[in-house]
Chain A
Amino acid sequence: MKMRILACCIAALLLCGCAKGQSSSRETVVLSPSAAQSQSEDDIDVDLVGVNSNMIYAQVYEMMTRPEDYLGKTVRIEGEFKVYANEELNKSNYVVLIADALACCQQGMEFIWKGEHKFPDDYPEPNSTVQVTGTYQSYEENGGTYYYLETDGILEVKSAFSSAILKASFCCCVRGGWPLGCLPARSSFLFV
């Protein structure tokens, strides 16, 4: 049994090593062709992709507290896609959320996808990683002012690296029992 566990762990580590070479590849699914056209980095005034969570939190906080400096600017943000239903107004708010490791100090940005789109048919799955590029705008609702990104489309980001790890761990678990570190519950942390 011990040898089986050891063999599975070594196999998982070897597969990790193989997968590492692919870590730079991120597969993106474009949910709107026109979104790809507006992805030129020169057009982006505030780019929150590839920036750590501290900076994203602080930048989005500043955009919320000093919106006059950012209205009309093109912003690119990447994070977890969330949907919040507003039953009072019979609508849904679509948000890109960025959280720190404890998921307590999180910051988000609402976005509105231009055109007629239905949830869940046209939108990505909630909790998936998405990238949104849009213009920072505001709207009034229920006596309050809210800020959002007006976008032409959404990019869904999938990591090939994390997919390889999940496959490796799952294979180990199926063949060799349940070696330490191969429990399916932990694989959800790999989709970061």
Chain B
Amino acid sequence: MTNIITTLQTYFAYPFVRYAFIVGILIALCSSLLGVTLVLKRFSFIGDGLSHVAFGAMCVATVLKLSDNMLLILPVTIFCAVLLLCQGQRAKIKGDAAIAMLSVGSLAVGYLIMNMFSGSANLAGDVCSTLFGSTSILTLTQQEVILCAVLSLLVVAIFVLFYNKIFAVTFDEDFARATGVNAGAYNLLIAVTIAVIIVLAMNLVGSLLISALVVFPALSAMRVFKSFRSVTICAAVLSVTCAALGILISVVAGTPVGSTVVVADMAAFAVFTFVGRLSGGVAK
């Protein structure tokens, strides 16, 4: 145990480890907050779809040699999020089908473009790191950390300020509309916020594992708690704890960061399922 603490103290002397820890916790917090809404709206897989869109945009930005990939990734991801979440009943291709089309299409096009045009010396490493988030969280610059922090605080502020409206739109959109809530605008806000979170979360867990950050904390909390507020608070605490634990374990043991965080989330889900069965899920 002393060895582990000493090792952690040594590793935390590196600035990139501190940056990874700060950003990882902020991303986990934001994704868990919106994760509850997505799970309840039956849009659990949208994280996966949007992350693949972000991957495709990242590939195009890399090939175009943009100074900052975010200039392309963020607008494209936001556009697709709005397309998927705000169409509602008017969409000719709905829900899971639309997500699947955008998701696999972006992944395929992105990988094809990278193979045909990229000048990267380590294409496999770049793609692998983006898809699985093995080390990308450990290669953040100070500017990226500040950007992540600002966007994360913005997401938390939006969630806190519009909590009641988000709650209403999540559970019964028609009733919310009937009571004068501008459901369309709040759906748009949720879509934009999710897109921002997805782009940030790619740094932590990679494109393929983002759904875990969104889904697992919410589902784990729902095993034990029943009210929206308690599920949200529990999901946030759980997500932050698992992310912190996952990052610490991966730093000490040398395991891929993204996968370790997801395994920590899975372990928490197993524990909460067990606790939920024992307690009958009555905690509010």
A100–B122 Cα gap in the complex (Å)? 13
Digit string of B1-35 for contact with A (CB within 8 Å is 1, else 0)?
A: 00000000001001011000000000000000000
Q: Which residue of A lies closest to B139 (CB)?
A: A61
Enumerate chain A residues within 8 angstroms of B256, measured Cβ to Cβ: 54, 100
Min C-beta distance of B79 to chain A, whole Å: 30
Q: Tally inter-chain residue pairs, CB-CB below 8 A.
A: 54
Are the CB atoms of A104 and B139 closer together than 8 Å?
no
- The answer to the question of A53 belonging to the interface, with a C-beta cut-off of 8 Å to chain B, is yes
- The answer to the question of B125 belonging to the interface, with a C-beta cut-off of 8 Å to chain A, is yes
A59–B134 Cα gap in the complex (Å)? 14
Are the CB atoms of B128 and A105 closer together than 8 Å?
yes
Min C-beta distance of B191 to chain A, whole Å: 32
Enumerate chain B residues within 8 angstroms of A102, measured Cβ to Cβ: 128
Enumerate chain A residues within 8 angstroms of B127, measured Cβ to Cβ: 104
Min C-beta distance of B106 to chain A, whole Å: 21
Digit string of B249-273 for contact with A (CB within 8 Å is 1, else 0)?
A: 0111111110000000000000000
Chain B contact residue count (CB 8 A cutoff): 23
Are the CB atoms of B138 and A52 closer together than 8 Å?
no
Are the CB atoms of B14 and A59 closer together than 8 Å?
yes
- The answer to the question of A62 belonging to the interface, with a C-beta cut-off of 8 Å to chain B, is yes
Are the CB atoms of B128 and A57 closer together than 8 Å?
no
- The answer to the question of A32 belonging to the interface, with a C-beta cut-off of 8 Å to chain B, is no
- The answer to the question of A106 belonging to the interface, with a C-beta cut-off of 8 Å to chain B, is yes
Min C-beta distance of A145 to chain B, whole Å: 14
Q: A54-B135, A55-B251 are in contact. Are A62 and B129 (CB under 8 A)?
A: no
- The answer to the question of B124 belonging to the interface, with a C-beta cut-off of 8 Å to chain A, is yes
Are the CB atoms of A54 and B254 closer together than 8 Å?
yes
Are the CB atoms of B257 and A54 closer together than 8 Å?
yes
A55–B251 Cα gap in the complex (Å)? 7
Are the CB atoms of B254 and A53 closer together than 8 Å?
yes
Q: A54-B251, A105-B129 are in contact. Are A62 and B134 (CB under 8 A)?
A: no
Min C-beta distance of A52 to chain B, whole Å: 3
New contact pairs (16) apart from A57-B135, A65-B139, A100-B256, CB-CB < 8 Å: A52-B252, A52-B253, A54-B135, A54-B257, A55-B17, A55-B251, A58-B139, A59-B16, A61-B139, A62-B139, A100-B135, A102-B128, A104-B124, A104-B127, A105-B128, A105-B134
Shortest 7 CB-CB contacts between residues of A and residues of B = A52-B254, A58-B138, A104-B128, A104-B124, A61-B139, A57-B135, A105-B125
Taking Cβ atoms with an 8 Å cutoff, the residues of A that contact B are 52-55, 57-59, 61-62, 65, 100, 102, 104-106
Q: Mind listing 25 A-B residue pairs with CB under 8 Å?
A: A52-B251, A52-B253, A52-B254, A54-B138, A54-B254, A54-B256, A55-B11, A55-B17, A55-B251, A55-B254, A57-B135, A57-B138, A58-B14, A58-B17, A58-B135, A59-B14, A59-B16, A61-B138, A61-B139, A65-B141, A100-B134, A100-B135, A100-B256, A102-B128, A106-B125
